[in-house]
Structure 1
Amino acid sequence: MTRQCLDKDIKITPVQGRVHVIFDDAEIASSLNALELDEPGAPLRIYVPRGDVREDVLEMSETHTTCPYKGVASYYNLKTLTADGPDQAWYYPDPCPLVEPIRDHLAFWGDRIEYRRSEV
């Protein structure tokens, strides 16, 4: 299958300081290497390196979506002792060249997801 990737004015920049990802009041990720992806017409997204995410909260989902600018996204369900978050984390295992820096990074969304920043 040939991947079709379209061009768009997407900006990817390093986040200053440390990013903490909170799910249902529990920290599930902490990173000094997070990236902001600014895509016109879409909410600002923060991508955290997979190695900075707690593996014990990730459960592979069968969900996949396609973005013409980023590629095919794979999803994770989030699971803690107190909460489940279906399809609330995603990543691009083979991103389009335009967004190659987000390879091996996860983004999160949902009403129980909170991003906090702290100084190093």
Structure 2
Amino acid sequence: MRPKPVKPKGGQESVWDYPRPPKLEEVTKTIEVYFNGVLLVRSARTYRVLETSHPPVYYIPQDDVAMEYLVPSDRTTYCEWKGRGRYFSVQVGDRMEQDAAWYYSDPIGRFGPIKNYLAFYAHKMDKCLVDGEVVTPQPGNFYGGWITKDVVGPFKGVEGSFGW
């Protein structure tokens, strides 16, 4: 059963107005990711994926990621819209977070522009920011959306949202 969407205020978007199938959108906002005292990402050349009931997922070019801290993982998943997902763990010093970032090496159709771009789980990082605003991770720790003050829900991932 679809929940009642929160009505957006000026400058906000409702995730219930995002399309399904999802769309890809270029973003020029500055994206930053920090882990164990290291800035892993600073980029203003990203994309975001917008899908009904989900906060945006940001995809970052590997050129803007400190790749020396990423360790390839054996984990793979499959997205009906984007294809086979592959993962990296993040290790900085003695601290490691398993399967903290993912990418598509051969994305399907209109998602071609995010080939090999990385997305990070905000709940696995110390801090993720969009234009200086610290994001809130999408609930449930399964999806990788980033919630900012510009986006209203309710968001898939909360208890009881399996059938949305």
- Equivalent residues of 2:33, 2:42 under 8 A apart: yes
Matches within 5 A, 1:15-94: 15-94=27-106
What is the letter of the counterpart of residue 103 of structure 1? Answer: K
TM-score by length of 1: 0.83
**Residue 112 of structure 2: SS of its match in structure 1?**
helix
Larger Rg computed on CA atoms: 2
In structure 2, do the counterparts of structure 1 residues 11 and 25 end up closer, same or farther at CA, with 3 Å as the change threshold?
farther
State the partner residue of 2:117: 105
Q: Give the number of aligned pairs.
A: 112
After TM superposition, what 4+ stretches of structure 1 lie above 4 angstroms from structure 2? none
In the alignment, the residues of structure 2 paired with residue 60 and residue 101 of structure 1 have an alpha-carbon distance, to the nearest angstrom, of 21
C-alpha distance in 2 between matches for 1:24 and 1:15: 26
Match of 2:128 among 102, 115, 118: 115
The answer for unaligned runs of 5 or more in structure 2 is 1-19, 133-164
CA RMSD of aligned residues (A): 1.8
TM-score of the aligned structures, taking structure 2 as reference length: 0.62
Structure number with the bigger relative contact order (C-alpha 8 A, sep ≥ 6) is 1
SS at match of 1:44: strand
Equivalent position SS for 1:17: coil
* Higher strand fraction (1 or 2): 1
- 2-side partners of 1:94 and 1:36: how far apart? 17
AA paired with 1:90? W
